């Protein structure tokens, strides 16, 4: 298992990773307030977890951050860029990548090609010159292949590059998604329940990779996750939502003991 990054995986310069500021974010769906004036800040290079009981508004937060939903009001700024109102591809172009709760891979595509899909945003010479075998395009394609191999090694996928993604165990498929997101060279990575549905060893392995991403690449990570052990291990800061409102925010060890958080989770158990 690769728990530290290989020499060849260059860090994103710390100065290139901007602060993410979420301010007074409100999202309403036909009379239902999914998010109600939520604010939090993700410090550059940190892992920031967004947690809360079912229906608290975590996915809605992610969907606004990645442009899938529009905020009713409020602001999301990545450095100087205002993200609210931008479509997903414009947000991706600003260096925001996400993985999904459910697998979003093409089962028959090889792991290598799945990772290469992440490079498309960065392709300068375009498919036409690549098709015409122009020298610049060949050099660029070689660089992309090299970087895909580096990221495969970083995520522990190097022995599976030629296999169809769908033939891998679930935990490795989730790592392919993570690897594909890393292949876009994000400054901000949104991980939606990265260990959901995994076996205990897969959870451990994935948590190690996420920790290595934080240590080795220096990018910011926003993590939505139900597994508290993973949250406590990985997060530098935690924002807790309940019924669309922020009920706590701070370091994991402080948030964990917050009476409002304990009440919210006990309430969930009582109704489960
Ligand atoms: N597209 C939508 N239309 C209407 N209501 C929605 C929509 N998306 C989410 N909601 C509602 O908004 C609230 C917040 O949902 P959200 O999915 O963000 O919660 P969550 O914290 O991610 O929950 P879970 O942990 O169960 O995934 C819920 O009451 C949900 O039913």
* CATH 3.20.20.70 describes domain 17-95+186-271: no
Cα–Cα separations (whole angstroms), residue 50 to 81, 138, 219, 242, 245: 22, 42, 17, 11, 12
What value of ipTM does the predicted structure carry? 0.96
Q: What is the mean pLDDT of residues 182-188?
A: 94
Percent of the chain past pLDDT 90, that is, above it, reads 69
Residue nearest to atom 23 of ligand 1 (CA): 55
Q: State the average pLDDT over residues 16-35.
A: 94
Greatest Cα pair distance in the chain: 65
Mean pLDDT, range 34-54, rounded to an integer: 96
Nearest CA to ligand 1 atom 26: 54
Residue 127, CB-side half-sphere exposure with 13 Å CA sphere: 4
Distance 76 CA to ligand 1 centre (A): 19
User: Going by CA atoms, what residue is nearest to atom 4 of ligand 1?
Assistant: 29
d(CA 212, CA 206): 10
Q: List phi, psi (to 5°) of 173.
A: -60, -40
Domain locations along the chain: 17-95+186-271
Q: How far is CA 108 from the centre of its chain?
A: 24
By mean pLDDT, which of 141-145, 231-235, 264-268 is the weakest? 264-268
- pLDDT tens-digit profile of 224-237? 998 989 999 999 99
Reported as a single tens digit per residue, the pLDDT across 53-102 is: 999 999 999 999 999 999 999 999 999 999 998 999 999 999 999 987 66
Q: What is the pLDDT of residues 119-142, one digit of tens each?
A: 876 665 555 555 666 666 777 788
Residue 207 · residue 233 · CB < 8 Å:
yes
Written as one string, the DSSP assignment of 143-187 is HHHHHHHHHHHHHT-GGGTTSBGGGS-HHHHHHHHHHHHHHT--S
Q: What's the token pair of residue 170?
A: 């679930």
Distance CA 5, CA 11 (A): 10
């Amino acid at each position: 298992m690769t728990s530290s990054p290989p020499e060849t995986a260059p860090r994103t310069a710390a100065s290139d990773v901007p602060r993410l500021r979420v301010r007074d974010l409100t999202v309403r769906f036909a009379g239902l307030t999914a998010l109600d004036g939520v604010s939090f800040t993700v410090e550059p290079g940190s892992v920031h977890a967004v947690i809360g009981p079912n229906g608290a508004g975590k996915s809605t937060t992610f969907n606004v951050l990645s442009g899938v939903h529009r905020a009713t009001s409020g602001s999301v700024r990545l450095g100087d860029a205002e993200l609210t109102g931008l479509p997903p591809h414009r947000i991706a172009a600003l260096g925001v990548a996400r993985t999904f709760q459910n697998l979003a891979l093409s089962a028959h595509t090889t792991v290598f090609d799945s990772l290469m899909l992440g490079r498309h945003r960065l392709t300068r010479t375009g498919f036409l010159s690549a098709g015409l075998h122009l020298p610049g395009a060949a050099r660029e394609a070689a660089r992309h292949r090299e970087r895909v191999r580096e990221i495969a090694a970083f995520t522990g996928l190097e022995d599976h590059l030629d296999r169809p993604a769908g033939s891998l165990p679930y935990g490795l498929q989730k790592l392919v998604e993570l690897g594909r997101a890393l292949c876009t060279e994000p400054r901000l990575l949104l991980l939606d329940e990265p260990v959901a549905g995994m076996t205990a060893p897969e959870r451990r392995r994935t948590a190690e990779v996420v920790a290595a991403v934080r240590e080795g690449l220096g990018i910011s990570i926003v993590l939505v996750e139900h597994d508290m052990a993973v949250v406590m291990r990985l997060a530098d800061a935690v924002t807790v939502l309940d019924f669309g409102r922020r009920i706590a925010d701070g370091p994991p060890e402080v948030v964990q003991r917050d009476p409002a958080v304990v009440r919210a989770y006990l309430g969930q158990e009582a109704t489960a």
